[in-house]
Every structure is written in C-alpha cells, then in structure tokens.
Chain A
Amino acid sequence: MKKVKGFWLFLILSIVLYVTVQLLINAGILNQFYSNTLIFIGINIILAVSLHLVIGITGQFSIGHAGFLAVGAYISAIFTMKLQLPFPIAILVGGIIAALAGLIVGIPSLRLKGDYLAIATLGFAEIIRIVFLNIDYVGGAAGMQVSHLTNWTYTFICLFITIVVIMNFTNSRHGRACISVRENEIAADAMGINTVYYKVIAFALGSFFAGIAGGLYAHNFYIIQPTNFGFLKSFDILIYVVLGGLGSLSGAVISAILLTLVSTFLQDYPETRMIIYSLVLVIVMLYRPQGLMGTREITDIFGKWKSVKSVKGGS
C-alpha cells in the first residue's frame, strides 16, 4: 500500500515539476538559454543514471558509455533525417539498437574484470566511433546535420521513464541479484545467481537508456560528429557517477545537475575552465573518494529521522 502511495507522490511531484517548467517556458520567463540548460541537464541525468546501473549497482567497470550514446544518436538521426519517421519512434529504435550494441559488446567483455573490463569497454567505444567515422552514409568526419526536435516534454518523459525503470529494477529481484554481483561475484555465483546473465542484462539496460539519451542529444544539437563521442565524453559520464557516489542513484542525479551547471558557468572563463574542472575533480576524489553521497540515497538522511518518528508512533 505505502509503496504504491510513494509512487503516486513521486508521480505527482514530477507532473508538478513538468507543468511548472512548461508553463514558465510558454510564458517566456524561461528563455531558450534556461530551457536548453534544463534539456542538457536532463540528457546528462539519463546518461548518469544509465551508467549508474552498470557501475554503481552491478559493479561493472565500464568507461566506454559514449559509444552507446553515439549508437543511439546516429540511429535515431538516421530514422528521422533519412527515413523521415516520427521522432518518438526514432528515439525508441535508437535505444533498442544501442541495447543490442550493449549485448554485442557486453557478452564477450563482461568475462573480464576490473581494469581489463574498463580498458576493453574504452576500446569498444573507440571502435564504435571509428566505425561511424568511416561510414559515408552518416557523413563521416563531417558529421550529420539533424533537425532540432528535442524539447522539454520529450526530455522530461524520457528522464521520468529512465528513473522509474532503473529505480524499480534496482529494487526488484533482478536488482538485488545485480547488487550481489557487485558485492561479491563468487559468493553470488555460489548462491545460484547467474552472474553473467545479470551483468549482461544490466549492461544492455544501461546501453538502452544511453541510446535514448543519444536520440535526445542528436536532435538537440543540430549536428552530430564522431568527435563528439570520444573517450572524453565517456569520462564525463563516468565522472557524474563516481562524483555522485558509486551506488547512489540520487548522487548520480545530483552530480549530473551540479557538473552541468558548473560546466555552463565556467564557459565564461575559457582560459581556466578545464583547470578548475579537473582540479575540483581531483580534490573531491582525494578528500572524498567515495563520492558526494557515498552509497546512500538522499532520502536516507530523512529516512532515519522518519523511522525514528514512526517507531515512536508505534507503526
């Protein structure tokens, strides 16, 4: 009962958020700059949360997430620009193909562990990028021009679905299986959990949402080029997840919001932008290697307080 109630509350708050922002945009109070920043934040949250599933929940060290972003971006762009199909279908297909790419990459490489997996995923992402670089159908190095179709509504719907699905997945039997893989793969195996299956599922699901983000990304920035999806992009996504705290969904969300804003703000200081950014990164990692939130969720702090109260209330 209460679980359902919580979901409704989440839904209502989300709708309030959506409607408020949409009204503000319609009223012209939020100009293009703010709405674009919101969309960019939304895309980054989807990316952060999708990688959070792979690294934070399942503990698989993937540093090639931009590859799946690229797949989603290119496939959805082909669907709208070359095949003239509607945008929602293009986003969905982009996600599905990215998930397939995730399967193709995941099945062989998830046999690896730790740094070796990391470097293999990095390699795969670079290969995906080089493949697009060599396909003239999508413009090669010059890139592909894409119409601007992404708006706040599409972004919000995708963001909402991503968070709900990943939250529910985490709290389901599958999610707990994934967490057991993260905590101790051998023990999980011994308990009869098909670790390979869960690793691949998490990887494919993460890739699917990265592909969705790719669809939004491609249709928000007018042009996509292979250089947009290099390993620095993968590192950016990785940084959201690690800075937020490995294993914390709200941490990933918060750090994606914060870092996007920091990066936007620093645009005004081009000379020192990257220096400040990397310095912040190093300092946070040195003094708080578990990330801003650790493995906790933002609710845990309140949760403690609530549970004390509820004990008193005798529920």
Chain B
Amino acid sequence: MFFRKKITSVLMASALVAGVLAGCGGEKAGTEGSKDSGGGGDTIKIGANLELSGAVASYGQGIAEGIDLAVEEINNSGGVDGKKIEIIKVDNKSDAAEATNAAIKLTNQDKVTAIIGAATSGNSVAQAQIANDNKTILLSPSGTSPNVTVGTNGKVNEFVFRTSFIDPFQGTVAANFAAGDLNIKNAAIYADNASDYAKGLAASFKETFEAAGGKVVSEESYVAKDTDFRSTLTRIKSANPEFIFIPGYYEEVGLIIKQAREMGITVPFMGADGWDSPILVDLAGAEALNNTFLTNHYSAQDPDETIQKFVTSFSKKYSGKSPDAFNALGYDSVYFLVDAMKRAGDTSDATKIKDALAETKDLSLVTGVVTVDEFHNPIKSATVLEHKDGKQVFKSKVNP
C-alpha cells in the first residue's frame, strides 16, 4: 500500500519531467526543420495570424483570401527586391490566448519580419506586446479599436500598425451625413454588442449626432450570430426614429434590414465598412436595401485603376466572387507592408520597416489613399455610398 503511493508520487513527478522535456525536444526538432527550408535569404517571411476557425472564421478567411491574392501578384511580378514573399499562415481559432501563442511562434520560431493579423481588435491586442518585445511588425488589417496601436500606458506601440480606419472616424462621418445631408432629427442606434468595432462606432456616432443637435431616441444592441431581430426591431419601431444607425457586420445587418422592412420600418438605415459585402444584397434583398447608406473605404464602382484591378483579379482568382471589406483590407495590408519595405530599402530589418511605415504618406491603396498619423493609424478618406436596387452608388467623399 505504501509502496503504491510512494511510487505514484515519484512517477507523477518524473512523468511531468519526461512529458515536458519530450515536448520541448519534439518541438525543437520540428521547427529546426522548417527553419532550414525557409531560411534561405531569398524569401521574405510574413506571418498571418488569423481567425481561420472558430466563431469569426469568416472574417479571418476573408482576410486570408485578400492576402493570398496580393502575394500571388507580387511574387508573379518578381517579388520585392527580387525576393519572393512567403506567407506563414497560422490559425488562432478566434481566441485571444491562441493568438498570443501563434504570435510567439511566428516571432520566435519562424522568425518572420512582420505579422499580418488579427481580424478582431481583441485578438490583435493579444499580440501587440509580443510584436513590440520581439521587434516584429504587427499590422492589423481590421482591428479598429484605438487600443491596438496605443498601449494601456498611453504610449504608442512602436511596432504595431493597422490598415483599417479607427472607430471614431466613420461614426463621425455617418452622424454628419445623417444630420446634414439627410436632415434627420431623431435617430436610433442598433449596435453589435459583441464587437468593440460596432460599440466604438455607436459611441462616436452618438456624440457627433447629439452635438449636431440631433436626438438619439433608442439605443439597442444585438450579439453577433443572432438571427432573429424582430423583437428588438419592434421596440425600435415604437420609438419612431427617422433614421437607424446599425454599426456591425453584413452577416447580421443583412438580416436586420430584411426583417425590419418586412415589419414595415421604412426609414433610412446607415452603417459602416462592415456592411460591405456582395452577400449583404443577397441576404437583405435589393428592394429592402433601397434607402440605406454606408460609409466605406472605397467603392467597387470607383473607376480608380487600383480598385478596378483589384476587383477584376479578385473575382478571377476566386471563381467570380466579388470582394468584401475583409478581402480588400487583407489585400491592402500586404501592399502597405511591401511599400514600406521598398522605401526602407530593406526587407528583413523590422526597425527600418517600422520607421518607413510610420512615414507612409499618400500611399494609394484599394481602401483609400493612406497617410499614417502619430498614433500609427492610417488617415484616409471615407466614401459615403447609397444602395440603389442592389448596387452601391457613390454619394460623397469625406476627408478627415
């Protein structure tokens, strides 16, 4: 009896030792192999730390498609300084802890120069510190929260940048458009409570709209992946707003608009770049989408050469699919980074590239002409679009 216990405890400890050491050994062997294969000086290693599975897999996969297209184009035209780009894609399961682990792996094991990711602000924040500590660029394609580039101590994260707008700007544009162009007095806000993107937009919309003399008569929220919005819409309807602001992503917005129109809510709706997807039209129906507006980085109808090239090559690569905002942001992130590498004259020194990124000025990308500000946020103009019979029609362009 005594023997059992003694041996149990001894072997427990040795199992721990063995397990842990075996684990390390295995890992080492595995990664050394991969280092050899990718270690030649003729490739530029860029990590992509994205939500490829889990709750928001559709966002991460959208970005990955954009990245793949951009990398293919660059590599086919000779790469950067004669070097090909190698993307190391890592799945973070839509989970912050996994995002941290993945970022540590990319920086320590794969020794990437830069990481593109993640799709959500939270998962981007989870790797910001790692990027700073390891002197690796982190470029968040669609993390819109101010906390991504600015740490808790109020200091700018040196190595962290983003491709998207930050939340407040689009909210301000939308509020000015509602109060000015549409001459609205009473508005309702229906925001996605599960995303800080939507909450940030709602807050900045409310602030600007009230400052312009408007009144927010109803504030409601939903949670991403909901499918039935009728009860909350009934509540909003009885508050009688003249206008409803819905910051959120097309997956839910499409359903909200469809259900709202079925319930006889005819007032204009407005949203932001999260609305931009061809699927929005399919979900809501072209008729229901009439009299709705959105702010966006760009318009797919814009005759601008960069945009048209992107739209055609995207639908060529992905069998006729039209790009959405995530595709465009993923695509732009690569070009944003490559532009900085070219200007830095170096494809592996992250410190030089980071300085070049911070100095980016008037870079013409699909999602707008980008200038980076002191907080590492891109300043780009927003476009206001209107849906007419399922088509986005250009309304106005607002410069920051």
Q: Which residues of A are in contact with B by a Cβ distance under 8 Å?
A: 1-3, 5-7, 9-10, 13-14, 16-17, 21, 30-34, 36-38, 40-41, 133, 140-143, 145, 147-148, 163, 167, 171, 217, 220-225, 227-228, 230, 232-233, 249-250, 253-254, 257-258, 261, 264-265, 267-268, 270-271, 273-274, 297-300, 302-303, 306-307, 310
Indicate if the CB atoms of B105 and A253 lie closer than 8 Å. Answer: no
Complex interface: chain B residues within 8 A of A148 (CB): 129
Contact indicator A9/B13 (Cβ below 8 Å):
yes
Which of chain A's residues have a CB closer than 8 A to the CB of B9?
Answer: 6-7, 9-10, 167
Q: Which residues of A contact B55 (CB under 8 A)?
A: 227, 230
Q: List 10 A-B contacts (CB under 8 A).
A: A13-B16, A17-B20, A36-B101, A141-B193, A142-B145, A221-B100, A222-B129, A223-B125, A232-B54, A303-B4
Are A10's CB and B10's CB within 8 A?
Answer: yes
Contact B194–A227 (Cβ < 8 Å)? yes
| Contacts A9-B13, A143-B122, A223-B122; A303 near B104 (Cβ below 8 A) | no
Which residues of B lie under 8 Å from residue A302 when comparing CB positions?
7, 11
Cα A159 to Cα B194 in complex, Å, equals: 33
Residue from the set B11, B30, B102 with the largest chain A CB neighbour count within 10 Å: B11
Q: A33-B105, A225-B96 are in contact. Are A270 and B53 (CB under 8 A)?
A: yes
How far apart are A300's CB and chain B's nearest CB, in angstroms? 8
A residues near B353, Cβ cutoff 8 Å: none
List B residues at the A interface (Cβ < 8 Å).
2-17, 19-20, 23-24, 26-28, 30, 34, 50, 52-55, 88-91, 93-98, 100-102, 104-105, 107-109, 121-122, 125-130, 133-134, 145, 147, 152, 193-196, 199, 223
Q: Is the CB of B2 within 8 A of A3?
A: yes
Find chain B residues with CB under 8 A from A267 CB.
90-91, 98, 101-102, 105
Q: Which of B2, B6, B20, B109 contacts A9 (CB 8 A)?
A: B6
Who on chain A is nearest to B125 by CB?
A: A223
**Interface of A: prevailing SS:** helix
- A267 and B109 alpha carbons, distance in the complex (Å): 12
Query: Is the Cβ of A13 less than 8 Å from the Cβ of B102?
Result: no
| Shortest CB distance A223–B (Å) | 5
Apart from A37-B27, A261-B23, what are 16 other A-B pairs with CB-CB below 8 Å? A17-B13, A31-B108, A33-B104, A36-B101, A143-B122, A167-B9, A222-B127, A233-B95, A253-B12, A253-B19, A264-B27, A268-B88, A298-B15, A303-B8, A306-B7, A307-B4
Which residues from A are CB-within-8-Å of B2? 1-3, 6
**Which residues does chain A contribute within 8 Å of B152, judged by CB atoms?**
145, 147
CB contacts (< 8 Å) of A9 on chain B: these are 6, 9-10, 13
Alpha-carbon separation in the docked complex, A33 to B30 (Å): 13
State how many angstroms separate the Cβ of A77 from the closest Cβ of chain B: 12
Taking a contact as CB atoms under 8 Å apart, the answer to whether B52 and A270 are in contact is: yes
Which of B12, B27, B199 is within 8 Å of A34, CB to CB?
B27
| Chain B residues whose CB sits within 8 angstroms of the CB of A299 once the complex forms | 4, 7-8, 10-12
Evaluate contact between A228 and B10: CB separation under 8 angstroms: no
Tell me the bound Cα distance from A223 to B92 in angstroms.
14
Chain A positions within 8 Å of B107 at CB level: 32-33
CB <8 Å contact, B109 and A33 = yes
- Check B122 against A37 for contact (C-beta < 8 Å): no
- For the complex, what is the distance from the CA of A223 to the CA of B120, rounded to whole Å? 12
Q: A220–B5 Cα gap in the complex (Å)?
A: 34
Name B30's contact: one of A32, A228, A265, A306 (CB within 8 Å).
A265
Q: How far is the CA of A232 from the CA of B93 in the complex (A)?
A: 11
Partner of B23, one of A31, A37, A232, A253: A37
Within the assembled complex, what's the spacing in Å between the Cα atoms of A217 and B95? 13
A303 engages B122 (CB within 8 Å): no
Of B14, B89, B95, which is within 8 A of A227 by CB?
Answer: B95
Q: State the CA gap A16–B95 with chains docked (Å).
A: 34
A32 contacts B104, CB within 8 Å? yes
Alpha-carbon distance A224/B102, docked complex (angstroms):
16
Q: Which of B97, B130, B193 contacts A228 (CB 8 A)?
A: B97
Q: Give the Cβ gap from A159 to chain B, nearest Cβ, in Å.
A: 8
Nearest-neighbor residue (CB-CB) of B94 within chain A: A227
Q: Report the minimum CB–CB distance from B121 to chain A (whole Å).
A: 7
> Complex formed: what's the CA distance from A225 to B134 in Å?
24
Cβ-defined contact, A41 with B134, below 8 A: no
Q: A228-B96, A267-B101 are in contact. Are A6 and B122 (CB under 8 A)?
A: no
| Most chain B beta-carbon neighbours within 10 Å: one of A5, A298, A306 | A298
Given A33-B108, A217-B97, residue A306 in contact with residue B23 (CB < 8 A): no
Cβ 8 A contact of B10, one of A1, A13, A37, A264: A13
Q: Which one of A145, A250, A270, A274 lies within 8 Å of B15 (CB-CB)?
A: A250
Which residues on A sit within 8 Å (CB–CB) of B121? Answer: 142
The 3 A-B residue pairs whose C-beta atoms are closest, nearest first, are: A6-B6, A270-B91, A142-B196
A38 touches B20 (CB 8 A): yes
Q: What's the minimum C-beta distance from A3 to chain B, rounded to whole angstroms?
A: 5
Which residues of chain B come closer than 8 Å to A254, judged between CB atoms?
15, 19
Judging by beta carbons under 8 Å apart, are B17 and A17 in contact? yes
Question: For the complex, what is the distance from the CA of A254 to the CA of B19, rounded to whole Å?
Answer: 7
Whole-angstrom distance between the Cβ of B223 and the nearest chain A Cβ: 8
Smallest CB gap from B51: residue in A = A270
Q: A222-B128, A306-B7 are in contact. Are A270 and B89 (CB under 8 A)?
A: yes
Q: Report Cα–Cα, A41/B16, bound state, in Å.
A: 10
Q: Are A14 and B13 in contact (CB under 8 A)?
A: yes
Question: Given that A33-B109, A133-B193 are contacting pairs, would A6 and B20 also be in contact in the complex, using a CB cutoff of 8 Å?
Answer: no
Contact call B194/A141, Cβ cutoff below 8 A: yes
Give the Cβ gap from B273 to chain A, nearest Cβ, in Å.
18
- Measured CB to CB, the nearest residue on chain B to A4 is B6
Q: B3–A303 contact, CB under 8 A?
A: yes
- C-alpha spacing A289/B122, complex, angstroms: 38
Name which residue of chain A comes closest to B97, CB basis.
A221
- CB pair B26–A274 under 8 Å, yes or no, is no
In the complex, what residues of A have CB within 8 A of residue B126's CB?
Answer: 221-223
Which single member of A220, A225, A250, A310 contacts B12 (CB below 8 Å)?
Answer: A250
